[in-house]
Amino acid sequence: MRLIAAALLACAGAAAAQDARWEVIAGSEAEHSSEGWRIAVPKTELKYQWSPRLELGVEVSWIEARPTGAPTSSALSAGTLAAKYQLLPEDAGFGFALAPEFARRLSRASVRRGIASENQEYLLGTETVFAIGRTEVEIKAGRNFVERQPDEWTFELKVTDPCMSRVDCIVNAERKLASNDEGQTLLRLGVDVELGRGVYLRLLGGREIGPRTPGQVDRTFEAALKLFF
């Protein structure tokens, strides 16, 4: 196992010396509410830099739901296809991009087991990135069109600061606004730890903040390995 890990780090390090075109994120995420646990293992995301301005991505997970007082069920999550087109490149310290996404179920079993929704979703999103000194600020905002359900606005704020050598500290807040909005904001704190050139470990934890509701997430944890090559 040590030899395999060393080989992976060496390969990733050599490739990262050049411009990385691929980004792979693989890990797990668990969230808990009064309704039970929902665990994603593995949670995977793949991104490809098609051109200097265009990035393509796909995301899918295997979800295990453990409702309180009910049997455990598991199935594939909805699959998400994403694209990001840079209108203003980030080279000048300020970037702006269009970031649409499309999500739909990958199997009918996922819907029957309550893992994924049968409704398709289309997100018309934007992404703004700028720097304040060494701190990077990323703001995402968009309109999510949900089939047969109320549409919603989505907002995300992410602040990344190089707080220690080879460690970036992260503050992340997410909020959705819809007609049936329960006023919940997901707040997470964490770190990105550089294990080697082009290899990072991400650790995040947090909870939803807002009025107490049955579905409110009282704790969530994420651990993932990020590879650039």
Burial class of residue 12 (count of CB atoms within 10 Å of its CB; 0-12, 13-18, 19+): buried
Dump pLDDT digits (tens) for 85-133: 999 988 778 999 999 999 999 999 999 999 999 999 999 999 999 999 9
Dihedral pair phi/psi, residue 199, rounded to 5° = -125, 125
User: pTM of the full predicted structure?
Assistant: 0.87
Residue 17 binned pLDDT confidence (cut-offs 50, 70, 90): very low
pLDDT over 80 (residue 13): no
Mean of the per-residue pLDDT values for the chain? 91
Average pLDDT on 168-192 reads 91
Q: Which of these ranges, 18-27, 75-84, 93-102, 140-149, has the smallest mean pLDDT? A: 18-27
Average pLDDT on 204-221 reads 94
pLDDT of residue 62: 98
The residue assigned the tokens 């051109």 is 51
